[in-house]
Chains A and B, each alone.
Chain A
Amino acid sequence: MQFLITVLLDGLIYASYLFIVSLGLTITFGVMKILNVAHGGFFAWGAYLASISIIYLGDNEYNSFLYYFAIFLSAIIVGLFFGYIIERFILRKMYNEDIHLIVLATFGLFWILEDLILHVFGVDPLMPYYPAMELGGIELGGIFQGVYSLTLAGLAIIVAFICWYFLKKTKYGKVLQSVIFDREVSVSMGINVTKVYLITFIIGGMLGALGGAYIAPTISVSPGFAIDVVVMSFAVVVIGGMGSVPGALIGSLIVGLVRAFAVHQAPILELFIIYAIMAIVLIIKPEGLFAPPKPRKI
């Protein structure tokens, strides 16, 4: 029983982290049909901006509430700033280009964002541990879990709910679904697709940055740490289905739980098993488990 509870908790925490990061990636793909490799850059910048803010607040003994304010503000700033610049001045000029060229452009942008980090923040690792240390640990199922890490699950649930409410219950959400379904039809119906693209890219960037900013207090934030996260996010969206929000959720849960089980039972298979699942999904259902339906065009 203790084993099952522990695996479940470990899996849920890791899945929550993956969901927040991969959600931005899958939304951007769903709307814009762009595989945004630069998503890792948003993640890294979110982590760095949050880190220096938290370290400043912690060193100067500000109210702990401000840590969380800094985390969300960092995500918003990074998403708005880089999201606007990248979409407005680079991607918008490439929408008519071959999709592979756009992927290469985002790949280049990822490295530019990574390199900018070196120039702005330097190479020394940052450890903004204050929020994680202050919340400490709690005994669940016989072993201690970090409370801060558990709040990740809460954040993931809130983000998933906001996403669902936005897409299903708001006018703009319906507009977004229309663009996801068919860009040309949306244009003919008077939807400003250019604006939708810009807003979507910024929101996707904010989600990526939020993942980095929120995870920062539990890791050593150092140059290059985002690369693995991007790769793992790709595995999640491939399993769940590119462009599918429920897919990102289920994909994250599958990867998180399977990885946790492997770490406990067969540690050497930890990575193999994730990519084996991805390969199986690609063979059986190449579009992913929950890929949105494609319109039939005549």
Chain B
Amino acid sequence: MKLINLKTLGRIAITGLIASVLPMSVNAKDTVKVGVVSFLTGPAAGPFGTPAKQGAEIVIDAINSGTMPAPYNTKGFAGATMNPIFSDESGGGTKQVGLFRDFVQKQNVDAMIGYISSGNCMAIGPVADEVKMLTIFSTCGTERLYEEKLRSHVFRTQGNAVGDSLAAAKYIADEYFKGKVSTSDKMYTGINQNYAWGQDSYKFFKLGMAQYMPSAVGSTKPQFPKLFSGQYGSEISALSLDKAKIVHTSFWNGDFEAFMLQALVRGFFQKKILVSSVGGSGVDSLDKKFPDGVIMGTRGNVGLIVRNDTTPLNKWFIDSYKKRYGAYPLGPSYQYARAVMLYKIGMDKAAKAAGKFPTQDQVIAAMKGVTFESFADTIEMKRGDGHQAVHSIAYGVTKYNKAKGEPGIEKVIKYSASCIYPPAGAISQKWVESGMPGRKCN
């Protein structure tokens, strides 16, 4: 009896050993394990984290099955199937760094993709380099990520917030201030969340206004309410009493929707012109109640801005997303999908060059400085020593599309990357303050 038990135990041990070894060998050739991190809980989940995850899912599934349109129509990532592990970004930098290490050291992922919060990107960037883990940031906006230090293992497929703010300022100067002479018409103010994203966004909007429209005057009392505060009654009153007509905001998530709702019932948009750098995600929540005339950006050529763009890749993405999730893809859906696409480009290119399944270093080398077609735009990894993307940024004016019965946008202007981003190696603030030397605007 004892002998049988020992034999059985031995068989179990051998079977276990084989089972534990097999997936490892398969993992190296047939599958790549990737952590995909976005807000799945908290106020940022609904308008940002969930659409982001869904965007990634659409593209990952299509690449795995080889059904994505050209130029992404080859099956898999260097032939391997991606096995994504979705994770929640909530909880702050310290928690996320712990989870990141867990992904790398315990789950043995091949790459990490995602991250919406600039705070999380700043926390994880140095750790990714330290543990040598290929990480593609998809959404976060702080320019400090590459201006403070170059990163060896970190890529970002989203242009930084400098371009969003400068494009907003240029749109105002070009379209709104043209021919305006009264003092109040030339005044602007802002309401931005009181943390790095909100403060930096307004800072660069102001710097941009000083360059594009030197006679414009900034309010002495821009508003900086706490992130996720939800109640903006006093702020709306203060902005209403302010002489400035233009109001800049980089509000996102539930804060943007709450502000719009509270401002709407108070007739705010009859007197003020709101310039929103990232509010595209909130337009659908209010649907036909969303006011016409809001100057709107979506952080690139994504989301609401490209809803009617008929580029084959974009049309496929919108159709697939609508079919699967019953809604239009939002900006974050595009951003996450784009990060996955860069990973595919890197894997395929590296595999082709190496003639075999690529190593991480080969993938990084292949991704560095690459230019690739996104859904309705071209992404150039031309900053941060080839690790940071630049792309054009578009702004337009909201106008409800009565024929389609859905929110729409008109008067869209696209600003090229060379117009709104500093050249490689330059520090954004110094570049803007010194008059944006070398900028080329279309």
Contact = CB atoms under 8 A, between A and B. Distances in A.
B41 interface: yes
A222 B230 CA distance: 10
Contacts of B50: 123-124
B221 A143 contact: no
Nearest to A263: B234
Contacts of A125: 43, 46-47, 253-254, 257, 285
Contacts of A267: 221-225, 235, 238
B267 A137 contact: yes
B224 A146 contact: no
Interface string B23-44: 0000000000000000011110
Interface stretch (A90-98, A126-134, A183-191): A126-134
A266 B222 CA distance: 9
A188 to B, nearest CB: 46
A224 B228 contact: yes
Contact of A219 (B90, B224, B225, B261): B261
Interface residues of A, number: 50
B231 interface: yes
Interface residues of B, number: 43
A224 B266 contact: no
B228 A225 contact: yes
Nearest to A145: B266
Nearest to A132: B265
Interface in B48-103: 49-50, 90
Contact of A137 (B40, B257, B265): B265
A148 B43 contact: no
A213 to B, nearest CB: 15
A215 B230 CA distance: 10
Given A225-B254, A263-B235, A146 B285 contact: no
A292 interface: no
B228 A228 contact: yes
B241 interface: yes
A3 B241 contact: yes
Contacts of A265: 221
Interface string B269-290: 0000000000000000110010
B105 interface: no
Interface string A148-167: 11000000000000000000
B237 A143 contact: yes
Contacts of B237: 6-7, 9-10, 143, 145, 260, 263-264
A283 B223 CA distance: 30
A146 B238 contact: no
Given A223-B42, A224-B43, A14 B261 contact: no
Given A144-B240, A224-B42, A149 B225 contact: no
B257 A127 contact: yes
A132 to B, nearest CB: 5
Contact of B233 (A13, A224, A225, A227): A13
B13 to A, nearest CB: 40
B41 A146 contact: no
Nearest to A10: B234
Residue of B42, B231, B255 contacting most chain A CB atoms (<10 Å): B231
A133 B266 contact: no
A41 to B, nearest CB: 15
A259 interface: yes
Interface string A38-70: 000000000000000000000000000000000
26 contacts: A9-B237, A10-B233, A14-B231, A123-B45, A123-B46, A123-B49, A125-B254, A127-B261, A133-B265, A137-B265, A137-B267, A143-B240, A145-B233, A149-B262, A218-B262, A219-B262, A220-B43, A222-B45, A227-B228, A263-B225, A263-B237, A263-B238, A264-B238, A265-B221, A267-B221, A267-B235
Interface of A: 2-3, 6-7, 9-11, 13-14, 17, 118, 123-125, 127, 129, 132-133, 135-137, 143-149, 215, 218-225, 227-229, 259-260, 263-268, 270-271
Given A127-B285, A225-B230, 19 more contacts: A7-B234, A10-B233, A10-B234, A11-B234, A124-B45, A132-B261, A146-B262, A219-B231, A219-B254, A220-B257, A220-B285, A222-B43, A222-B253, A224-B90, A228-B228, A260-B237, A264-B234, A267-B224, A267-B238
